[in-house]
Amino acid sequence: MLLVCSNRCGGRLFRALFAEVEVDASGEFQDYRVAQPGYVCLNCGAPALDLSEVPAAMEAEAREEEASTASTDILCPVCETMVQLDANMECPNCGAPLEVG
Ligand SMILES: [Zn+2]
Ligand SMILES: [Zn+2]
């Protein structure tokens, strides 16, 4: 875990907000509730970021981008509409045949 202030104020102290514990009337432990964001900067009150979790988040984002670029958007030469190329290789808007590239 590597916490930084999302405000970049340079604060080095953070308060943990997560792990609110629920108990029943007899005080018996019931459940954890994980609150988000997990930490706030004690210096300025901004939510803190856990830098050790950033690479995973960025990876997930990169994967999403890859997935979204896998579907091909092309400009139909006939009706000049941005269309998503489907298996039929024709414009869903006007029916003109489409070519990739
Ligand atoms: Zn701060
Ligand atoms: Zn078209």
β-strand partners of 3? 50
Task: Quote the pLDDT of residue 44.
Answer: 95
Dig out the tokens for 98 from the structure: 């489409």
Task: Quote the pLDDT of residue 35.
Answer: 45
Distance 48 CA to ligand 1 centre (A): 7
Mean pLDDT by 10 residues, the chain (101 residues): 88 77 68 62 88 72 69 84 79 84 55
39 membership: H or E segment, kind and range: strand 39-41
Task: Quote the pLDDT of residue 32.
Answer: 55
Phi-psi region of 67 (alpha: psi -120 to 50; beta: other; left: phi over 0): alpha
Distance 21 CA to ligand 1 centre (A): 26
Distance 12 CA to ligand 1 centre (A): 8
Distance 85 CA to ligand 1 centre (A): 47
pTM: 0.34
- 8 Å CB contact between 43 and 13: yes
Distance 20 CA to ligand 1 centre (A): 23
Residue 92 CB-half CA count within 13 A: 8
